[in-house]
Structure formats: structure tokens, C-alpha cells
Amino acid sequence: MTKLKYLTTAAALAFSTSAYAEPLPKLEYAWQALNVIDAVETAHCLDKGTCEEMNPIIGKHPSTGKLIAYKAGMGVMHYAVTRLLQDHAPKWVRIWEIASVTVQGGVVAANMRFVF
């Protein structure tokens, strides 16, 4: 049950936005959702022992807490970059979002072979 609490907290952080902020591009929500799905998939296959984490920053066998903290941090950083681009280079936001969703979607798709 503890892992469910971590995942729920990560999802809440990923989708929380200020009520006064400008609307985010719709692809930001897609990226944040894919980020949470990646965390769930990774935690699941690490628990089963069918995979190793490929990200050298957090190691091959991170704890669920470390994984969730890392993914939550990445969610915050992605949100910040998106906001920065939206404020200072609005023409680049769509390119950033398409590239980000494509990469994160590829990671989620690649993880599917270990989850099922």
C-alpha cells in the first residue's frame, strides 16, 4: 500500500498547477501522464525483478521512493521548461512538447515488454 501512496503523490504533483497561471499546452498534460505511467511501469518491473533501471543517475535498482522522487523532480523540471518557453519563446513550445511526448511515449512503450 505504501507504493500506491508514493504513486498517488507523484501523480498529484505532476498534475497540480496554479489557478492563476496561463493554460498549459495540452501536450504538457500528456507528458506528465506518460511520466507517471513510466514510474508505475518501472516500479512494477523492478519489484518483479524482470528489469533494471537504465538511467545511470538513479542506479540499476533504485528504491520505489527514490524512483518516485526522481520522476516527480523530472515532472517539475519539465513543467518549468515548458512555462519558460511559453513565456519567452512561444514558437518553440509546440516543438518542445512534441519531442518530449515522443521520447517519453517511446520509453513507456519500451517498458511494456517488461511489465506484461
CB-based contact 64:42 (threshold 8 Å): no
pLDDT in tens, 52-82: 999 999 999 999 999 999 999 999 999 999 9
CB-based contact 48:59 (threshold 8 Å): no
User: How big is the chain by its Cα radius of gyration, in Å?
Assistant: 15
- How do the domains of the chain map onto residue ranges? 26-115
Kindly state the DSSP code that residue 22 receives in the 8-state scheme: P
What's the pTM value of the predicted model, to 2 decimals? Answer: 0.79
CB-based contact 34:108 (threshold 8 Å): yes
